[in-house]
Amino acid sequence: MTYFEGFITPVPATKREEYLRHAGKFTPKAQQFGIRRMVESWADDVPHGTVTDFYRAVEAKDDETVVFSFFEYPSRTERDAANEKFMNDPGMADMMNDMPFDAKRMIMGGFESIIDAGQGPGGYINGFIVPVPNDKEGAYLEMNERHTAIFREYGALRVVQAWGDDVPEGKVTDFRRAVKAEPNETVVFAFMEWPSKQASSDAWDKIMKDERMQPGEAPFDGKRMFWGAFEVIVDTARATQGAGAAAPLTA
């Protein structure tokens, strides 16, 4: 199954171009180190929640937005090998010192896919972070297998649900704190890719009215799950599929 390194990053809203330039410098290294796909997406419609949300996840300041990102690998073994190359690359230190955001509040973790249906690249992403009790993984998978078929029916290019595998505790923030995870819970990193914002909006209007989406009792605490919609600004898959260069996309 596909392995994902997931990231949520607080970035000053005025530094989008700086973030794009930084991502452009990193993209060649990502490919060199064996990352199969690198995606960066900028917050577009990210609501503030009552209990949790993307902003709280990274202690975002009033002048900051959030970026939802992932690296994609064939396996954890290849993820671990890529991280070893990162650590030993002499150029990475300079890049780490020149980041247009507060890296101490960025959160990251490794996730093993339990659902990976369809294929990108898409121009728009719905991202979800979910706390799921360990003993309800089967029920969570069953529910999302049903829902995935519906999302795909309404035009989602790809649906991914990835179970927390290597989710470290951070000094300031981390994925577990982001959803107020309890000791018996695992964090799920999930997303859907759509061709465009319009395609996503049109689909959700229909999805929310579809009676098949009524799941009954959800196998997780929905009050602590959070979600948002993001515009893709970098996607290395666009180069391999003939949709343009792997460099950052323009708005």
pLDDT single digits (tens) 230-244: 999 999 998 654 443
Residue 247 lies in a domain: no
Q: pLDDT of 52-97, one tens digit each?
A: 999 999 999 999 999 999 999 999 999 999 999 998 998 887 777 8
Considering its fold, how many domains does the chain have in total?
1
Residue 235 lies in a domain: yes
The C-alpha angle 238, 122, 22, rounded to 5 degrees, equals: 55
CATH number for the domain harbouring residue 188: 3.30.70.100
Full residue range of the structural domain in which residue 117 is found: 3-240
Residue 9 lies in a domain: yes
Residues of the chain with pLDDT under 70: 215, 239-251
